[in-house]
């Protein structure tokens, strides 16, 4: 099924995904050249790279036409290899061809990591052997050979560009709102990339689709698998929906199953939707959701995702650095009934902020803006609320703490990418945490 023995393989990019792909291919008898256009000292953790892998740094990528297979890292745009490559498989395609366990795959603009980790926790609580991997940090290829009942994969639009036969037993699409339009030609191209998660499903597979999202719901028409919809706003049968603080799961010919969310530790309305999707996926995979539901009482917000950092002098400081697009920031803001002092800004991904600015007007008392997009955001927000600018995340936290009043929430939810000032959203969130904790000097919780 894999067939790469004695093949010449070109791996583009030597981040975590690229390193895992290079090691995977060399271990299966391929001849591998791994190329990174960054200098060697910028590529990180190269000690984990198999010494048999040939490598090149700091120069343009080799001609893809000279290789039997090109394995691009997700961050490498298709125009860098597509026209010349004989065959292209990303790490998800390689993993699919090698993992024996059923795959539950999750994509969407927002909520992917939380939902994937929820599915993993729910499956484990039900007694199944499950591991989560993919776009959330652990490369999917690390699951190859592991004793698993289920592999749970978070998959980005970039990764879906490089699948060929990938066929998840359960495919989940959480939502599709504008994102990565600096990479995809337009919203339709972005939607088409997301829809590739359904392309190879068969009648025995299941597509778990968010019918509250009109773009996702429209994909049901061409789905080959069984469609199992979920809705948070109204009942659906068959499917899953929220009702009076519970998730209700319905299948034809079976009694509805009601799972109470009273013990749910996760905060935010959007996380109830993530729980809804996760339970729907577990149910679609044939696992008893009642046995799985015990995981809900202990599952907490993931780092940098609406994470409570501190409460200082009656003000809560919340780190939602992972909100790298306007849709994610809207979900975050809508989850708070308190007045918000909002820290936003960063690198714009060619996304519009108008709808976000309109929502912010009813939730935000003051905004503190950082990064390259600050002028664009200020132009939209200044007529709706107090707006301040800060040169750094540390200065933003200081200013927000001066503006905050008893009962307020200081929320980092940038609506932008981080690479103008930070390595990634993790570094941005960690810097926010550190700045907040410095405020504790002389303060009481």
| Residue 380: other Cβ atoms inside 10 A | 18
Torsion, Cα 241 244 245 247, to 10 degrees, reads -20
Q: Which residue has the tokens 């809900």?
A: 296
The residues that are catalytic are 112, 135, 180
What is the C-alpha separation between 378 and 390, in angstroms, rounded? Answer: 12
Beta bridge partners of 260: 246
What are the Cα distances from residue 93, in Å, to 99, 159, 285, 296? Answer: 10, 9, 21, 31
- Cβ pair 397, 430 in contact under 8 A: no
Please report which helix (H) or strand (E) contains residue 9, including its range: strand 8-12
Q: Which of 362, 358, 325, 361 is nearest to 344 (CA)?
A: 325
- Cβ pair 390, 369 in contact under 8 A: yes
Phi, psi of 230, deg, nearest 5: -135, 145
What is the C-alpha separation between 132 and 152, in angstroms, rounded? Answer: 5
- DSSP helix/strand/coil, 374: helix
Q: Which residue has the tokens 């000292």?
A: 41
What are the Cα distances from residue 393, in Å, to 251, 321, 382? Answer: 48, 11, 20
- DSSP helix/strand/coil, 414: coil
For residue 114, the Cα-to-chain-centroid distance in whole angstroms is 8
Residue 124, token pair as written in the block:
């484990």
- DSSP helix/strand/coil, 248: strand
Phi, psi of 362, deg, nearest 5: -95, 0
């Amino acid at each position: 099924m894999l067939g790469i023995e004695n093949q010449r393989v070109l791996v583009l990019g030597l981040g975590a995904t690229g390193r895992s792909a290079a090691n995977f291919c060399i271990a299966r008898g391929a001849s591998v050249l791994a190329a990174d256009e960054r200098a060697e000292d910028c590529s990180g953790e190269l000690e984990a790279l198999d010494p048999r892998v040939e490598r090149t740094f700091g120069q343009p990528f080799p001609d893809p036409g000279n290789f039997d297979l090109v394995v691009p890292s997700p961050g490498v745009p298709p125009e860098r290899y597509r026209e010349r490559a004989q065959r292209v498989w990303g790490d998800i395609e390689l993993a699919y061809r090698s993992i024996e366990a059923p795959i539950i795959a999750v994509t969407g603009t927002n909520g992917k990591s939380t939902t994937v980790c929820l599915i993993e926790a729910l499956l484990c609580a039900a007694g199944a052997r499950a591991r989560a991997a993919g776009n959330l940090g652990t490369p999917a290829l690390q699951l190859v050979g592991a004793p698993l009942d289920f592999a749970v994969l978070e998959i980005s639009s970039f990764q879906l560009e490089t699948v060929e036969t990938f066929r998840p037993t359960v495919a989940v699409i959480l939502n599709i709102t504008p994102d990565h339009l600096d990479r995809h030609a337009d919203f339709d191209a972005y939607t088409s990339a997301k829809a590739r998660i359904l392309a190879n499903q068969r009648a025995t597979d299941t597509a778990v689709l968010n019918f509250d999202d009109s773009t996702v719901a429209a994909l049901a028409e061409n789905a080959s698998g069984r469609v199992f919809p979920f809705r948070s706003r109204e009942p659906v049968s068959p499917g899953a929906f929220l009702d009076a603080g519970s998730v209700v799961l319905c299948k034809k010919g079976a009694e509805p199953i009601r799972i109470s969310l009273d013990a749910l530790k996760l905060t935010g309305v959007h996380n109830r939707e993530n729980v809804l999707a996760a339970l729907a996926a577990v149910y679609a995979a044939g696992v008893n959701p009642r046995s799985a539901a015990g995981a809900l009482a202990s599952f907490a917000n993931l780092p940098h995702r609406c994470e409570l950092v501190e409460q200082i002098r009656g003000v809560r400081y919340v780190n939602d650095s992972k909100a790298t697009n306007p849709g994610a920031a809207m979900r975050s803001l809508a989850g708070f009934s308190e007045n918000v002092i909002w820290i936003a800004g960063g690198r714009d991904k060619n996304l519009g902020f108008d709808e976000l600015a309109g929502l912010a007007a009813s939730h935000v008392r003051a905004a503190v803006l950082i990064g390259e997009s600050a002028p664009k955001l200020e132009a939209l927000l200044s007529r709706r609320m107090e707006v301040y600018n800060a040169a750094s995340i540390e200065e933003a936290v200081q200013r927000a703490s001066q503006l905050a009043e008893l009962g307020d929430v200081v929320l980092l939810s940038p609506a932008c990418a981080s690479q103008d000032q930070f390595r990634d959203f993790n570094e941005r969130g960690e810097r926010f945490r550190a700045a907040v904790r410095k405020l504790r000097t002389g303060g009481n919780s």
